[in-house]
Amino acid sequence: MSGIHAINNGTVRINGGFFIFKKKIFDYIGEKEELVNGPFHRLVEERQLIGYPYDGFWASMDTFKDKQQLESLCEGGVAPWEVWKANDNDR
């Protein structure tokens, strides 16, 4: 498929921006160094950086439009992040 399409309609995985580090991460970060461009590349080369795919619901809320879309889902009773509500039906 070519052309421009929304990321949520594609098959590309994105980084949701959540990280868990050991204290040793500070040994990899140089002065005035941005986390991804320096340390992450070194960690990948040393096979010390891993990711876990998540196939559940995920959406960013970076813009006003994102906020409106998420509020629309919630107001429509379709808020996939409310996993506790889905579990209420199992009781």
Domain borders along the chain are 1-55, 59-91
Q: Is the pLDDT of residue 88 over 60?
A: no
pTM: 0.54
Alpha carbons 8 and 16: distance in angstroms, whole number: 13
In angstroms, the CA 53 to CA 13 distance is 8
Give the span between the Cα atoms of 8 and 13, in whole angstroms. 9
What's the rounded Cα separation, in Å, for the pair 46 and 68?
42
87 pLDDT higher than 70:
no
First CA to last CA across the chain, in angstroms? Answer: 43
**% pLDDT > 90, the chain:** 21
Which stretch of DSSP H or E encloses residue 79?
none
Q: With 60 as the cut, is the pLDDT of residue 75 above it?
A: yes
